Amino acid sequence: MNVRCAALLLAFAGLLVLSACQPSLSSAIQSPPTVQAGEPEIQAFFPRAGQDPAPVLVKLYSGASTSLDIAIYSLTHPDIVKAIGDARQRGVQVRVITDNEQAAGNTQKHAVDDLLTLGIPVKVNLHSGLMHLKMSVIDGKIATIGSYNYTQSASQQNDEVMAVVTQPAFVKSCQDEFNRLWDSPGLTDAKESY
């Protein structure tokens, strides 16, 4: 694991610990996050505790105004796929990175095809490991990260977590890592991989 990835994982773990220690965050956990200047915030969503991340992502993606970068292992939840497409149709610059093996499965292939049809650039990994990130960066101001895949089973059955973070340094780290991946030779255009 490279130093940047290790630092990102440690920062994420620290943010989750911080969020668990702040009662004001737990009271806000049921409502989708809002960004307020100067007030870094962390919210954690646990599907099995009745805190489905899908509506949170849909609201965040619906509020995107300039950019939406998504690195996701599994992308099949119809509401999330629709929200990504809707963002593109509003003129938001959207980029998606996903796992090559997952993108070859019927349900995810259909979702990726829908995104490609809308002109959304989608890249898949060529390297031997999985593209296992579950991360979004919205307008360079909000990051989501965690174990949560964008699937209905992750929303309804799995023990998962998704954190929404507005702490600027953390968001910048996520954006930097997304940009590094996007420009790396370890990815290829999804259209070429089918």
Active-site position among 52, 99, 123, 134: 134
DSSP string, the chain: --HHHHHHHHHHHHHHHHHHH-HHHHHHTTSPP---TT---EEEE-GGGT--HHHHHHHHHHH-SSEEEEEES-B--HHHHHHHHHHHHTT-EEEEEE-HHHHHSHHHHHHHHHHHHTT--EEEE-SSS----EEEEETTTEEEEES--BSHHHHHTS---EEEE--HHHHHHHHHHHHHHHTSTTEEEHHHH-
User: Residue 115 corresponds to which tokens in the numbers above?
Assistant: 């995104």
> Is 110 annotated as catalytic?
no
Active-site position among 59, 82, 109, 132: 132
Distance of CA 130 to the CA centre of its chain: 16
> Is 134 annotated as catalytic?
yes
CA–CA gap between residue 50 and residue 34 (Å, rounded) = 20
> Is 139 annotated as catalytic?
yes
Distance of CA 98 to the CA centre of its chain: 10
CB 39 within 8 A of CB 49: no
Active-site position among 139, 141, 189, 191: 139
- Which positions are annotated as active-site residues? 132, 134, 139
